[in-house]
Amino acid sequence: MDRRSVVAGAALVALAALLVTLGAAVRPLFVPDRAPEREILSATEIAFLQDMAAHHEQALLMVQSLDPGVSPVIARLAAQIDDVQRVELGTVLGWLRLANALPSNPQPMAWLHEPAAGHHGAQVAATAEPVDTAMGMATRAELDALAAARGRDAELLFLRLVQRHHYGGVAMAGGADALLTAGPVKQAAREMVTEQTKEIGVIGLLLAQYG
């Protein structure tokens, strides 16, 4: 084989290698990656977080509506509720933004009303309760009454509204815990159950003192 043939053969090999390299480089431009995007949050997680955002927002509104002249014990409880719920609300809204989801639920509590397999095979049954009742939410009239109340009347109304509100929150978070199998939203729901159950106990003691 003469020198010219060797050079031509080497050139062909180099050209083939170049074409392979170029093909690998430009392939993504013409053949898009078909790998499915990983779901950030499930539909149940999103709906639960949306409902819990509305729930927390009302708790903060109740604290803001409370008479500033209430006793130090009630004021400390209100401040604790404000601190905890404000932090949790920020986390909830952050997760919803991350999932590119709306902050409000167009069908409140529908995720919990539909029978579904829960944790360890448990069932989350449907309920005929109105949505606001199931969530423990205060009515507009009750919020207006709280804003107008003063002294002992304000303290009693605040305690009763927050107690009912927390019972609703515990039911919501407990339902999410039963429906979800794992993940940070499930863990947050469990922590909400623990925290709000403790506050329900404190509120019960305070109401007992009021007779």
pLDDT tens digit string along 155-179?
999 999 999 999 999 999 999 999 9
* pLDDT at site 133: 73
Tokens of residue 167, six digits: 């019972």
Contact (CB, 8 A) for 98 and 40: yes
Per-residue pLDDT tens over the stretch 94-147: 999 999 999 999 999 999 876 544 444 344 444 445 677 779 999 999 999 999
* pLDDT at site 44: 96
Q: CA dist 48 to 92, 152, 188, Å?
A: 10, 35, 11
* pLDDT at site 119: 41
Tokens of residue 72, six digits: 């130090």
- Binned at pLDDT 50, 70 and 90, residue 2 comes out as low
Predicted TM-score (pTM) of this structure: 0.76
Cα–Cα dist 176/119, whole Å: 10
Nearest CA-CA partner of 68 in 81, 55, 79: 79
Cα–Cα dist 202/77, whole Å: 9
5 pLDDT exceeds 70? no
Tokens of residue 42, six digits: 């499930």
55 pLDDT exceeds 50? yes
Of the two residues 51 and 134, the one the predictor is more confident about is 51
- Tell me the percentage of the chain whose pLDDT exceeds 70: 74
Contact (CB, 8 A) for 207 and 173: no
Q: CA dist 118 to 52, 88, 110, 114, 182, Å?
A: 19, 24, 15, 11, 12
* pLDDT at site 118: 42
Nearest CA-CA partner of 142 in 159, 130, 127: 159
Nearest CA-CA partner of 155 in 76, 94, 44, 93: 76
